[in-house]
Structure 1
Amino acid sequence: MLNAIQLENILFLDIETVPEVENFNELDDDFQELFALKTQYQRKDEFTPEEFYERAGIWAEFGKIICISVGFFTQKSGERQFRVTTFQGDEERLLIEFSNLINNHFSLPQHLLCGHNVKEFDLPFIARRMLIHGIKIPTKLNLMGKKPWEVPHLDTLELWKFGDYKHFTSLKLLTKVLGVPSPKDDIDGSEVAKVFYKEKDIDRIATYCEKDVIAVAQIILKLRLQKLLSDDEVLRV
C-alpha cells in the first residue's frame, strides 16, 4: 500500500512550538488559573504552575507555532530531488502561508500530509491555532465527518506501530534503528523555547525543524525499501 503512493503527492511537515509568552507571570489571571487546572494532573505536587510553564508549548491553548518546515519530492531531469523550506516568524502570517501552500499545491484527492506523530500533535495543533487566529482550516486539515480511511494523512509513528496502539517510538529512536541519519544533532524539543526566547535564534530552530522533515522523508523511503536521500538530493529553498 505504501509503495503505491507517488512520493511527489506527499507533503512532509514538522512544527516547532513554544509557550505563547515567555514567562508565566505575563499571563493574565484567567489564563494562569486555567493553565494550573489544565496541568494539575501532570504536575501533581511536584511543580507549581509557574515552574511547569516551560512545557506550555505542547498545548495549542497556551503555546504558539514559531515555524513550520515542509518538504516534497520532485523529479528534475529524471533525477530525484527533495526540496525543503520553512515558514517562520509571526504565527498568523506563517499559518496563512502554510494554508496557501496546501490549498494551491497539495489540495487534490491524491495528496497526503506526512509527519512523525503528526496525527496526534502537529496537525491538530495547526488547526487549533488557525481557528484562534480566525484562519479558515484547509480541507486537508479539517477532519470533521471523515471516516478513518478517508483521512489524508500519513504518520510514520502509526506506520511503525503496525496496529500496536500501545507502542510509542520517538523520531530519534526510529531513525537510529532504521539506520537513518539522526536529525537530533544540535538541539532537541526541550531546548526550543530557550533558544527562541533567550538566544532569539529562530534560524537555528528552523534548521532543526527542517532536519526532522528530512528524517521523516528518509523513514518513508526506508519503509518502502528504497534508497535514502543523499545530501546532494536535498535542496533548501
Structure 2
Amino acid sequence: MISKLNLENILFLDIETVPETESFSELNATKKELWKAKSQYQRKDEFTADEFYDRAGIWAEFGKIICVSVGYFHFEGDIRYFRVTSFYGDEVQILKDFKNLVISHFSQNKHLLCAHNGKEFDFPYIARRMIIHNITLPYKLNLFGKKPWEVPHLDTLELWKFGDYKTYTSLKLLTNVLGIPSPKEDIDGSEVYKVYYKDKDLDRIIKYCERDTIAVAQILLRLRGDELLHKNEIKYI
C-alpha cells in the first residue's frame, strides 16, 4: 500500500526533451529517411516529415534531454521539507549527474523512482539516452531480468488508473481534479521546443520541469491521503 511507503525513500522526477537538432534540414540523409519512416504513422498525410519535426523530442532515437528535475522528502522531526534540484545543459553531463545522484543516494532496495507516466516515457527515455551515450545504466534503470514486482518504479499515472489500462490522464488534468496547483501555469510540453530553440530560454524550461516534479509529489500525497505541500516546505537547491 502506498500509505506504507516511506516518502524519504522516493526520488520524484520529470524530464524535458527536444529534437536533437533545431531543424529537420540539419539531419544527415540517413537520419532524415529514418525520421520519415518513424513518424509516418503519427503524421500520416497531414504533415511532411519536416513540418512534423518539432515533435521529434518525444522519441529517444531522435531527441535529447535538456533538463532532469528531481525532488525528495526530508523530515526533521515533525517538520517536512521537499527539496528540488535540476540537472540541465549538456545531455551527457545531465545523465552522468543524474546517475551519480541515484547511485549515491537512491541505490538501495528500499528506494524508488517516481514520475507521471514514467514507465512509458521518463524512465525508458533516460535509459535509452544513457545507452546511446555509452553510459552504463544504474541498477534502478536496468530492468533486464527483473520481475514486475521487482521494478523499483512508481508511476502516478498507473496508480490513478486503478487497473483501467484503456485510459490516459495527463498531469495537467490530474492536478486539476485533485485540487493541486497546476504546473502548466506558464508553458506546457508542446511549447518546450519553441522556448528552447527559438526563445533560447532554458531557465523557463527548468522552472517548468521543477513544477512538474513537485506536482508528481503532490499527486502521490493526495493518493495517500496526506496533506499537500505548502510553499514554505519546498526548498530549491
Q: Is 1:4–2:4 an aligned residue pair?
A: yes
Q: Distance in 2 between matches of 1:52 and 1:125?
A: 20
CA drift at 1:208: 0.1
CA drift at 1:78: 3.4
Matching of residues 96-111 of structure 1 within 5 Å: 96-111=96-111
3-state SS in 1 of match to 2:119: helix
Q: Distance in 1 between matches of 2:227 and 2:43?
A: 44
3-state SS in 2 of match to 1:182: coil
| Alignment partner, residue 112 of structure 1 | 112
Matching of residues 101-140 of structure 1 within 5 Å: 101-140=101-140
3-state SS in 1 of match to 2:69: strand
| Alignment partner, residue 195 of structure 2 | 195
Q: Distance in 1 between matches of 2:28 and 2:222?
A: 48
Q: Distance in 1 between matches of 2:199 and 2:49?
A: 24
Q: TM-score, normalised on structure 1?
A: 0.99
Amino acid at match of 2:148: P
| Alignment partner, residue 180 of structure 1 | 180
CA drift at 1:174: 0.3
| Alignment partner, residue 72 of structure 2 | 72
Q: Distance in 1 between matches of 2:215 and 2:5?
A: 18
CA drift at 1:107: 0.3
Name the % identity: 67
CA RMSD of aligned residues (A): 0.6
3-state SS in 2 of match to 1:124: helix
Q: Is 1:33–2:38 an aligned residue pair?
A: no
3-state SS in 1 of match to 2:139: coil
Higher mean C-alpha deviation, range 71-80 or range 42-51:
71-80
Q: Distance in 2 between matches of 1:206 and 1:231?
A: 18
| Alignment partner, residue 161 of structure 2 | 161
Q: Distance in 2 between matches of 1:41 and 1:230?
A: 44
CA drift at 1:77: 4.8
Q: Is 1:218–2:222 an aligned residue pair?
A: no
| Alignment partner, residue 21 of structure 1 | 21
**Structure 1 stretches of 5 or more lacking a match?**
none
Q: Deviations over 1:107-131 (max 9, x none)?
A: 0000000010000000100000000
Amino acid at match of 1:143: L
**Structure 2 stretches of 5 or more lacking a match?**
none
Q: Distance in 2 between matches of 1:141 and 1:9?
A: 16
| Alignment partner, residue 51 of structure 1 | 51
Q: Distance in 1 between matches of 2:76 and 2:96?
A: 28
3-state SS in 2 of match to 1:49: coil
Q: Distance in 1 between matches of 2:11 and 2:46?
A: 41
Amino acid at match of 2:8: E
Amino acid at match of 1:203: D
Runs ≥4 residues deviating over 6 A:
none
Amino acid at match of 2:228: L
| Alignment partner, residue 231 of structure 1 | 231
Q: Deviations over 1:186-236 (max 9, x none)?
A: 000010011011111111100000000000100010001010000000001
